[in-house]
C-alpha cells in the first residue's frame, strides 16, 4: 500500500567546502515517485540464523539467488509483529513495541547531489529509554555491489550473532562488520546516520563499523509535525571521503535503512529488507535527475 505524497517542496541550507555552493535546494517532492517500504522489528535474526538452513526455510532459496525482499516484502509487518511480541526470535520483548513502521521513501538527484527523503508516522511507545538523548535515529547503507550477499539480504551481511547487544555477547566493543570486509579493496557498506538530537554521521562498515571518515554527506535534516517524522538526506554523488561509495548515473546500488524509534539503541531497531537504488536506472527505488 502506497502512502500519500506530501505536496510541499523542501529547501535546506547546507554547509560545505568553499568550492560548493552554500545553498542546495532539494527536489520538488510532489513530483518524485513514492515507494512504500515497511521496516520491521527483526528480533534476534542475525545472518547466521538466516543462512544456516535449519531454522530459516529461505536459506535454500537464497542459495539459488532469491532475495529476502522477493520472498518477504509483503509480509514484513507480520514478521515484525511475531518478533516484537516475543512469539518468535525475541527472548526479551519490549512491552508495546511496534512490530513494523510503513515508510514513504523518495529519491532524486541533480547531477551533483543525491536526495533521499523518508516520511513515517511515529507509532506508540513508552518503553524504557535506551538512548535518552535521541527519540529517533535513521541510518541508511549503500553497497557498490562489492559485499558478497548484499544483493540478496541487504544490510544483513553486517548483522552477526556475535555483535554487541545480541544475547550472550558481553564484548561491548563488537560492532557490526562484514565478513571478509576490506575498506582498501572496496568491500564495505557506506553508512550515513541522522539523529533527532542533531548528530550526523558519515562512515562505513567493513571489518568493523566506523562512524566517521566520509565526506559525502552534505546535510541531514529531520522535522516532526504532529506524529509524523520527515528526514531528508543530501549526499554528494562523488563522495570523496573514507568509506564513501561513488555514485554515478546509470548504475544501481544495494540499499537498506533502519529506524531506531522510541529512544531505542543497538539491535532494538526497525530495519528494511534489502532493496536496490538506481540513479537514472530501473531499480526498487529510482533517483531520477531533476
> Is the model's pLDDT at 16 over the cut of 50?
no
Q: How far apart are CA 275 and CA 227, in angstroms?
A: 27
Confidence of residue 228 (pLDDT cuts 50, 70, 90): very high
| The three grid cell numbers given for residue 69, joined into one nine-digit string | 525482499
- Closest by CA to 39, choosing from 93, 92, 132, 104, is 104
| The three grid cell numbers given for residue 264, joined into one nine-digit string | 531505542
> At 225, which helix (H) or strand (E)?
strand 217-225
- Closest by CA to 24, choosing from 42, 33, 16, 12, is 12
At 178-197, the pLDDT tens digits run: 999 999 999 999 999 999 99
Instruction: Judge whether 44 and 89 are in contact, CB under 8 Å.
Output: yes
Confidence of residue 25 (pLDDT cuts 50, 70, 90): confident
| The three grid cell numbers given for residue 112, joined into one nine-digit string | 551533483
Residues paired with residue 210 on neighbouring β-strands, in sequence order? 204
> Is the model's pLDDT at 14 over the cut of 80?
no
At 70-103, the pLDDT tens digits run: 999 999 999 999 999 999 999 999 999 999 999 9
- Closest by CA to 156, choosing from 37, 287, 50, is 50
**pLDDT in the model for residue 24:** 66
At 129-175, the pLDDT tens digits run: 999 999 999 999 999 999 999 999 999 999 999 999 999 999 999 99
Instruction: Judge whether 247 and 233 are in contact, CB under 8 Å.
Output: no
Rg (CA), the chain: 18
| The three grid cell numbers given for residue 230, joined into one nine-digit string | 520527515
> Is the model's pLDDT at 280 over the cut of 70?
yes
Q: Which domains does the chain have, with CATH numbers?
A: 11-289 (2.60.40.1190)
Identify the three-state secondary structure at position 83.
helix
For cell 540478496, what's the residue?
A: 152
Confidence of residue 26 (pLDDT cuts 50, 70, 90): confident
> Is the model's pLDDT at 114 over the cut of 80?
yes
**pLDDT in the model for residue 56:** 86
Amino acid at each position: 500500500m502506497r502512502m500519500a505524497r506530501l505536496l510541499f517542496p523542501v529547501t535546506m541550507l547546507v554547509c560545505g567546502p568553499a568550492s560548493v555552493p552554500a545553498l542546495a535546494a532539494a527536489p520538488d517532492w510532489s513530483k518524485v515517485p513514492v515507494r512504500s517500504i515497511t521496516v520491521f522489528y527483526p528480533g534476534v535474526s542475525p545472518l547466521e540464523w538466516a543462512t544456516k538452513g535449519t531454522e530459516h526455510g529461505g536459506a535454500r532459496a537464497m542459495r539459488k539467488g532469491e532475495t529476502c525482499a522477493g520472498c518477504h516484502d509483503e509480509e514484513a509487518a507480520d514478521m515484525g509483529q511475531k518478533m516484537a511480541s516475543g512469539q518468535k526470535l525475541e527472548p526479551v520483548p519490549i512491552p508495546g513495541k511496534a512490530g513494523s513502521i510503513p515508510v514513504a521513501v523518495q529519491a532524486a538527484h541533480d547531477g551533483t547531489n543525491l536526495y533521499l527523503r523518508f516520511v513515517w508516522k511515529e507509532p506508540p511507545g513508552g518503553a524504557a529509554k535506551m538512548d535518552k538523548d535521541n527519540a529517533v535515529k535513521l541510518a541508511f547503507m549503500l553497497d557498490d555491489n562489492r559485499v558478497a550477499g548484499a544483493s540478496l539480504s541487504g544490510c544483513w551481511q553486517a548483522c552477526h550473532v556475535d555483535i554487541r547487544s545480541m544475547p550472550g555477547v558481553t564484548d561491548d566493543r563488537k560492532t557490526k562488520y562484514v565478513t571478509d570486509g576490506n575498506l582498501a579493496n572496496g568491500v564495505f557498506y557506506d553508512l550515513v546516520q541522522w539523529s533527532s538530537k542533531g548528530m550526523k554521521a558519515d562512515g562505513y562498515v567493513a571489518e568493523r563499523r566506523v562512524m566517521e571518515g566520509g565526506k559525502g554527506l552534505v546535510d541531514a535534516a529531520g522535522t516532526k509535525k504532529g506524529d509524523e517524522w520527515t528526514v531528508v538526506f543530501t549526499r554528494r554523488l562523488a563522495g570523496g571521503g573514507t568509506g564513501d561509495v561513488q555514485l554515478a548515473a546509470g548504475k544501481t546500488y544495494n540499499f537498506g535503512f533502519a529506524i531506531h524509534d522510541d529512544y531505542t539503541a543497538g539491535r532494538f531497531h526497525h530495519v528494511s529488507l534489502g532493496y536496490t537504488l538506481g540513479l537514472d536506472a530501473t531499480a526498487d527505488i529510482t533517483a531520477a535527475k531533476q
